[in-house]
A = this chain, B = another copy of it.
């Protein structure tokens, strides 16, 4: 669940450095909020981070945690898990397929790939567990947006 103190320290330095470079203020709250995510591999959600930080800073507010986490994602020192944060979307395509999401226009296109369908058989995962299904989401610029790039 937790990582080495050494690696946590590296991540903290990385964070401090990124704030300096971006001109983002290094507040007590932000330091503790980042530390709370950096010290574990548990991929905590906002509430969990909030509860952890509150042990050290009893007056933090949940919205500060939200704002700080968003800032850190922008800085590139944190990432969000799972697919793009949005409402649920539905799909009536029952053939095995995967999704390409255009980061510019948001369109989601199905594509088919035998090699991706075979993911469940990967050997890297022997010690992790038995894979039942694979969800692959590739992000990039769709060909349509790419051909309109001149207009930007």
- A141 on the interface (CB 8 Å rule)? yes
Closest to A113 in B: B124
- A26 on the interface (CB 8 Å rule)? no
Q: Is A143 touching B119 in the complex (CB atoms < 8 A)?
A: no
A37 to B91, CA, bound (A): 7
Q: Is A135 touching B132 in the complex (CB atoms < 8 A)?
A: no
Contact partner, A90, options B81, B116, B129, Cβ 8 Å: B81
Q: How many residues in A have their beta carbons less than 8 Å from beta carbons of B?
A: 72
Contacts known (A130-B140, A134-B138, A146-B129); A85 close to B85, Cβ less than 8 A: no
Closest approach, in angstroms, between the C-beta of A80 and any C-beta of chain B? Answer: 5
Contact residues, A100-147 vs B (CB, 8 A) = 100, 102-103, 108-113, 115-116, 119-120, 122, 124-125, 127-146
Q: Is B87 touching A43 in the complex (CB atoms < 8 A)?
A: no
- A84 on the interface (CB 8 Å rule)? yes
Contacts known (A102-B129, A128-B100, A141-B129); A108 close to B81, Cβ less than 8 A: yes
- A82 on the interface (CB 8 Å rule)? yes
A73 to B94, CA, bound (A): 11
Q: Is B135 touching A136 in the complex (CB atoms < 8 A)?
A: yes
- A19 on the interface (CB 8 Å rule)? no
